[in-house]
Structure 1
Amino acid sequence: MKRKQTSVDVHAPKSAVESILKDPAQFITNWPYVVRVKGKKPIIAEIMLPRFVFKFKDTYSFEFHEDYNSFIYDGTGRKSVLIVSITLREWQKATAVNVELSYSGRREFLLGKPLEILTNGIAKSLKELAESFGVHHLSEKTEEAIVEVDFSDPMSVANFLAKAKMVHSGLHVIGEGKLFDVLHELMEKAGSEVLYVSGITSDGAKGFKVLVRGSQILAVEIRDEGIQTIKVIDEMSAREAIELLSKVSGAYMLNAWVPAGGV
């Protein structure tokens, strides 16, 4: 079994670090090399480890365990086993985090460097997520990117995503008129006032995109036998956006982003 280990000091309370670790689907989504995450019990994650002459890919079913100060993500794949163990120790002004990754399976002796990068990337991701948790400041450029998002203008969306990070990916069954409850739940989990969510059905026939700030809808796109986009600029366009979103229902794969650095 191949093992890699790293440590990092996170300048955030232990409670903030724990809040990230206790949402394994959201946390795993932010690991490097993770290309797809779905489900919650179990969490299914597809991970692709690059190498010089090949790319090794496996799909893992993760079980999550925790005790007083340890968090374990136990992944079983078709070709390998991947276990990530994270332990915490709280200091006066920071939380010391130790990440240990254990890997066994096909080509394990050839994957030393990618596994090291994965271990370091998990630690870096946790540090960034925890240190941005509950922060309430945006740069002027990020503020501008938020205001300018218009789904009829792909460049404005790309400009926002360049300053954002994904915080959630998973399948949701949305009841009629219940999308706003889902958005509120995602916003609370992300600890962010600004949230960008895209959703698509399994057959790709329907989809939507929405950018919200607090209780305010900023932009909407609905794809269902055609595409409708709304940039909210006044009360009338706000009503139209709410009406469109109220019609979204069914099973959707949702991905959510927040501005990098928090809000």
Structure 2
Amino acid sequence: MKRNSVSMDVNAPLKAVEDILKDPGQFITNWPYVVRVRRSDGIIAEIEFPFFVFRFHDEYTFTFHEDYNSFIYEGNGRNGTLVVTVTLREWQKKTSVRVDLSYSGRREFFIRKPLEFLTRGIAESLRDLAESSKVELSAKTEEAIGDVDFSDPVSVANFLAKAKMVHNGLHLIQEGKFFDVLHEIMEKAGSDVIYVSGITSDGTKGFKVLLRGTQVLAVEIRSGTSVETVKVTDEMTAQRALHLLSNVSGAYMLNAWVPAGGV
């Protein structure tokens, strides 16, 4: 049996860390080497360990347990058993986290280094998720979110004054997959509210969209000299906004902002 452990401090309250750990499906999805997670009579995760010239792939069915200060994820696969235990301790405004991992099964000697990386990656993933957890928004920030209308630059400026950039990068958006890209960015940002803008490399096409969860609040679509903005206020404008966004595809440089609280 191979064992590894990692300890680190997380700049987040105990409850924020606990909330992440109590959703094992989402937590396991963010582990290194995890290819896919699905729910079917438990949580099933496909994990692929790379080593030498080939990869060691297995499918683990996880059960989840918790006690006073520990959260245990026990995965049984065809070729081995993987057990991850996360122990928490509150320390002033921080949370002390210890991740213990044990693995027994075929080729356990050969995947020693990947197991070490997996242990540290689980701890770092938990830290990143907890430290990016939702902030409490002030009344003025909530007002700025509701007022955003891309035909009114002042309303956008008021929102951005109370926001922080959380993502920047080039994305190749496949036809019909725009909302999948938005969902991925939103999950990584850890916020229910997100503002995403995109522009093509030649500057001929662009978009702006503000979302709260699955609800589109405002949209701007630009193609050449043509610009259309939609402030969602009813079912008709919501359908128009969704139609415009569903046609976004191609290579875009994306920037994303989330509310940072403010006053």
**Bin for the TM-score computed over the shorter chain:** 0.5 to 0.7
2:106 maps to a residue whose letter is: R
TM-score normalised according to structure 1 size: 0.63
Cα deviation, 1:98-126, whole Å, max 9, x if unaligned, reads 00010011100111110000000000000
Please, which of 233, 241, 258 is the counterpart of residue 229 of structure 2? 233
Q: What is the aligned partner in structure 2 of residue 86 from structure 1? A: 86
2:60 is aligned to 60
Rounded to whole Å, the distance in 1 between the matches of 2:217 and 2:173 is: 12
- Per the TM alignment, residue 165 of structure 1 is displaced from its structure 2 partner at its CA by 6.8
Which range is displaced more, 108-117 or 35-44? Answer: 35-44
Q: CA RMSD in A?
A: 4.1
Work out whether residues 82 and 103 of structure 2, in 8 Å CA contact, stay in contact via their aligned partners in 1: yes
Is the alpha carbon distance of 1:261 and 1:24 closer, same or farther for their aligned partners in structure 2, counting shifts above 3 Å? farther
Equivalent residue for 1:139, pick from 150, 153, 164: 164
User: Counterpart of 2:16 in structure 1: which amino acid?
Assistant: A
- Structure 2 unaligned residues grouped into runs of 5+: 138-161, 197-208, 220-226, 245-255
How far, CA to CA, are the matches of 2:97 and 2:130 in structure 1? 11
Q: 2:25: which partner in 1?
A: 25
Report the counterpart of residue 184 of structure 1 in structure 2. Answer: none
CA contact (8 A) 1:73 1:84 kept: yes
Structure 2 counterpart of 1:24, which letter? Answer: P
> Could you tell me which residue of structure 2 aligns to residue 74 of structure 1?
74
When residues 58 and 165 of structure 1 are mapped into structure 2, their CA distance, relative to the original with a 3 A threshold, is farther
In the TM superposition, what are the counterparts of 1:181-200 in structure 2 within 5 Å? 192-194=192-194
**TM alignment of 1:42-57, pairs within 5 A:** 42-57=42-57
Residue pairs, 1:34-183, within 5 angstroms: 34-39=34-39, 41-135=41-135, 138-140=163-165, 142=167, 164=185, 166=187
Whether 1:3 and 2:28 are equivalent positions in the alignment is no
Distance in 2 (alpha carbons) for counterparts of 1:242 and 1:152: 14
Offset, 1:52: 1.9
Sequence identity (%): 50
| 1:152–1:72 Cα change, 3 Å | same
- Between Structure 1 and Structure 2, whose CA radius of gyration is higher? 2
Structure 1 distance, partners of 2:194, 2:22, is: 22
| Superposed displacement of residue 50, structure 1 | 0.7
- TM-aligned CA distance change 1:96 to 1:260, over 3 Å: farther
| Number of equivalences | 200
Tell me the CA shift for residue 234 of structure 1.
1.6
TM-score by length of 2: 0.63
Q: Which runs of 5+ in 1 are unaligned?
A: 168-186, 197-209, 220-230, 245-258
The verdict on how the C-alpha distance between 1:86 and 1:261 changes in structure 2, with shifts beyond 3 A counting, is: farther
Equivalent pair of 1:132/1:262 in contact (CA under 8 Å): no
Question: Does the 8 A contact of 1:59 with 1:78 survive in 2?
Answer: yes
1:134 positional shift = 1.4
Match for 1:139: what amino acid?
A: K
